[in-house]
Amino acid sequence: MTHLWVRAEQRENEDRVGLTPAGAKALLDKGFAVTVEESPSRAIAIDRYRDAGCAIAPVNSWPSAPHDAIIFGLKELPEDGTALRHRHIMFGHAFKGQFSGLALLRRFKAGGGTLYDLEYLVDEDGRRVAAFGYWAGYAGAAVTLKTWAAQQQGQICGPVGTYVGKDALLADLAKDLGDIKRPRAIVIGALGRVGTGASDLCEAMGITVTKWDMDETASGGPFPKILEHEIFLNCILARPGTPVFVPPAALNAARALSAIGDVACDPDSDYNPVPIYQEATTWAAPAFRAHNDPVLDVMAIDNLPSLLPAESSEDFAAQLLPSLLTLDNLQAGVWGRASATFETHVKEVSL
């Protein structure tokens, strides 16, 4: 019997989940076993999973789960160095040269486990089957606008938190912006899910958006047009061949640009297209001041969809469910491709 074990997220400010009670019921109806850990923060109450027929386990009990259980979470595991013997579904951030990813791959190699990275679950045409992109872009644009609004008051953006829904987020943002003349924004990756979410948020707040995608960046740069906008939202994942959009030289350049939202947020990748900061920002300190005169702040929170956990969870879970329903055949389809990607990278790791 295929056994899916939904673990509690152990990262602070992470309320999302990748499986809804309705999705769990669909898995159970197919004959799967589904265990869901209790969680003090999950956006969906544990009683709803219990009512759907799931087994309920104590919070963070997944290390003692049966060896054949498939452990499903979203964000990273505690960095405690323990060997990983299970098969895990999660965002591993381990296949693009990330420094922390090497340690994770070593843990899998030591324990004999497998990583099915959610970023690398792709169909036969190489397109991702599920992504939080839209809500990452939406929330990322919102926090970047909050960053810009704080600048207008001579401040740096203060802490952010979760919202019960997008209407509450929009109301809060409208209060921050008040009657200030709206900035100009440029979105790179505007045709993708992330860029669409970022553009929609900006337009909902009355902001004019310049929308760029692959055609506009094919030259490889430099891109002085970016510096003519007050806000730049990067919605393109770092990968080999990605141009540098804002180089260090731009810090001292004449520019209107004062707030960058690096929604893709891959600062420890060798392919970071915004190489003016070195680590992600946080909910407690959303903006990093990269330069003082003229001011330039970078927003680079790496779990942005959790600002809207209910909506982003429902959306992502609906996209992923058809693939979860094929977990009983891990050698084929999206799971076979994800396993092959993992094996390619893990064999290059030495213990």
Q: Is 291 a catalytic residue?
A: no
Residue 126 neighbours by CB under 8 Å, 6+ apart? none
Q: Is 75 a catalytic residue?
A: yes
Q: Alpha-carbon distance 280 to 287, whole Å?
A: 9
Cβ distance 173 to 147 under 8 Å?
A: no
Nearest CA among 56, 75, 78, 81 for reference residue 5: 56
Cβ neighbours of 295 (radius 10 Å): 15
Q: State the catalytic residue, choosing from 25, 30, 67, 75.
A: 75
Nearest CA among 146, 262, 157 for reference residue 205: 146
Q: Alpha-carbon distance 303 to 17, whole Å?
A: 12
Token pair 């969906």 is at which residue? 44
- Residue 253 is encoded by which pair of tokens? 């350049």
Q: Alpha-carbon distance 285 to 136, whole Å?
A: 18
Side-chain half-sphere of 237: how many Cα atoms within 13 Å? 15
Residue 199 neighbours by CB under 8 Å, 6+ apart? 137, 141, 187, 190, 209, 211
Q: Alpha-carbon distance 253 to 275, whole Å?
A: 15
Q: Alpha-carbon distance 14 to 162, whole Å?
A: 9
Q: Tell me if the bond preceding 183 is cis, omega within 30° of 0.
A: no
Cβ neighbours of 19 (radius 10 Å): 25
Q: State the catalytic residue, choosing from 25, 67, 86, 93.
A: 93
Catalytic residues: 75, 93
